[in-house]
C-alpha cells in the first residue's frame, strides 16, 4: 500500500469510497470523449436508417448510463462531439426511448437476430463493455430481437471490428486528440476511415461533403455552420447508437502537488512534486 501516487480512470463503482478517503484528492473534468456503438450499415436490414433508429429507441439509455457509470456520472450524448466542443449543435436530439415504436419497425423489417460485440477493456467512455452488452441484449429482447454477444480481447476485438463484413453492432468509443471537431467527424465516420476507424462502414455523401468542406476552410464560423449541418445528417442517418460523454477522474495522494488533468487524456507530470 502507498506505492501509487496518481491513478487515472478509477472504477466508477469506487468513486464514492474514494471521495470519503481523507488521504487522496479526486480530480475530475468533462471528458473530450464519446462512447458509442456502430452498426454495420452495409448489411441488411441495418442498411436502413429506420431500422437503426428503432434499435436505438429500444435501448433504455438512461438506465444503461446509470448502471455503467454509477457515481462517476456521464452526459448522455446528443451528438458525436461533446457539448464542450465548439460547433456542438444544441438543436440536434438523439433518439428517445420508445420500445413500442421500435418493436413495430423491427418486426416489419424482419430483424430477429443480431450480433452485439463486447470487449474486456475498461475505457473512460465505457467502463464495462460486457455489462453494457448484457443490458442492451435485455432491452432488444423486449422488442423481439435476440442478440448474440461476441467477445474478444481488445487487440483482436478491434481487428475483427474493422472488417467490412463484420455483422451487427460494435461497441467502441473515442477520446479526442486535439480538440477539433474534425478529429471526431472525419476520424470516426469519413468514407476514407472505413476499414480503419469507421466501424459502421458508413459512407454518406451529404455528411462527407460537409466535413470535407469544413476541413478545407480556416474560417471557424463557416466551419461551425458546416459541422452543425453534419450533425443533423448524422442524427437522421443514425449510423451508431450514441451512449455518453464521460467525466474523467484521477486519484491523487494529498502529498502530491502540481498534477494537472488534460482533457485529451494525456497525463502530464511536468511541474508535479511530492512532499515526503
Give the chain's radius of gyration (CA, Å): 20
Is 183 among the domain residues? yes
For position 267, what pLDDT does the model report? 76
Is 67 among the domain residues? yes
C-alpha span between 255 and 250 (Å, rounded): 15
Is 11 among the domain residues? no
Residue 93 belongs to domain spanning: 31-244
Is 23 among the domain residues? no
Write out pLDDT tens, residues 228-269. Answer: 999 999 999 999 999 999 988 889 999 888 888 876 767 778
Is 257 among the domain residues? no
For position 100, what pLDDT does the model report? 98
Is 254 among the domain residues? no
Predicted structure pTM score: 0.91
C-alpha span between 144 and 104 (Å, rounded): 10
For residue 121, with 0-12 CB atoms within 10 Å meaning exposed, 13-18 middle and 19 or more buried, which class applies?
middle
Query: Chain-centre distance of CA 68, in angstroms?
Result: 13
For position 275, what pLDDT does the model report? 86
Give first-to-last CA distance, the chain, whole Å.
16
Write out pLDDT tens, residues 18-41. Answer: 989 998 999 888 889 999 999 999
Is 48 among the domain residues? yes
Is 1 among the domain residues? no
What's the domain count of the chain?
1
Q: Are 119 and 172 in contact (CB under 8 A)?
A: no
C-alpha span between 249 and 88 (Å, rounded): 23
Which CATH number characterizes residue 50's domain? 3.10.105.10
Amino acid at each position: 500500500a502507498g506505492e501509487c501516487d496518481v491513478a487515472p480512470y478509477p472504477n466508477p463503482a469506487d468513486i464514492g469510497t474514494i471521495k470519503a478517503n481523507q488521504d487522496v484528492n479526486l480530480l475530475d473534468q468533462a471528458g473530450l470523449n464519446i462512447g458509442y456503438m456502430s452498426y454495420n450499415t452495409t448489411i441488411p436490414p441495418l442498411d436502413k436508417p429506420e431500422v437503426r433508429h428503432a434499435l436505438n429507441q429500444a435501448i433504455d439509455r438512461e438506465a444503461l448510463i446509470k448502471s455503467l457509470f454509477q457515481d462517476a456520472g456521464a452526459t448522455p450524448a446528443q451528438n458525436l462531439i461533446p457539448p464542450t466542443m465548439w460547433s456542438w449543435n444544441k438543436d440536434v436530439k438523439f433518439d428517445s426511448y420508445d420500445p413500442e415504436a421500435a418493436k413495430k419497425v423491427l418486426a416489419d423489417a424482419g430483424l430477429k437476430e443480431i450480433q452485439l460485440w463486447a470487449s474486456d477493456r475498461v475505457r473512460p467512455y465505457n467502463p464495462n463493455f460486457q455489462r453494457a452488452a448484457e443490458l442492451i441484449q435485455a432491452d432488444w429482447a423486449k422488442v423481439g430481437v435476440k442478440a448474440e454477444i461476441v467477445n474478444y480481447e481488445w487487440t483482436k476485438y478491434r481487428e475483427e471490428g474493422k472488417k467490412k463484413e463484420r455483422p451487427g453492432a460494435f461497441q467502441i468509443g473515442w477520446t479526442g486528440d486535439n480538440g477539433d471537431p474534425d478529429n471526431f467527424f472525419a476520424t470516426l465516420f469519413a468514407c476514407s476511415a472505413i476499414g480503419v476507424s469507421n466501424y459502421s462502414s458508413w459512407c454518406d455523401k451529404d455528411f462527407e461533403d460537409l466535413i470535407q468542406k469544413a476541413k478545407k476552410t480556416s474560417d471557424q464560423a463557416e466551419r461551425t455552420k458546416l459541422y452543425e449541418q453534419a450533425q443533423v445528417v448524422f442524427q437522421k442517418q443514425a449510423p451508431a447508437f450514441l451512449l455518453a460523454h464521460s467525466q474523467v477522474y484521477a486519484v491523487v495522494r494529498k502529498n502530491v502537488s502540481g498534477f494537472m488533468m488534460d482533457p485529451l487524456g494525456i497525463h502530464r507530470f511536468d511541474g508535479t512534486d511530492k512532499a515526503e
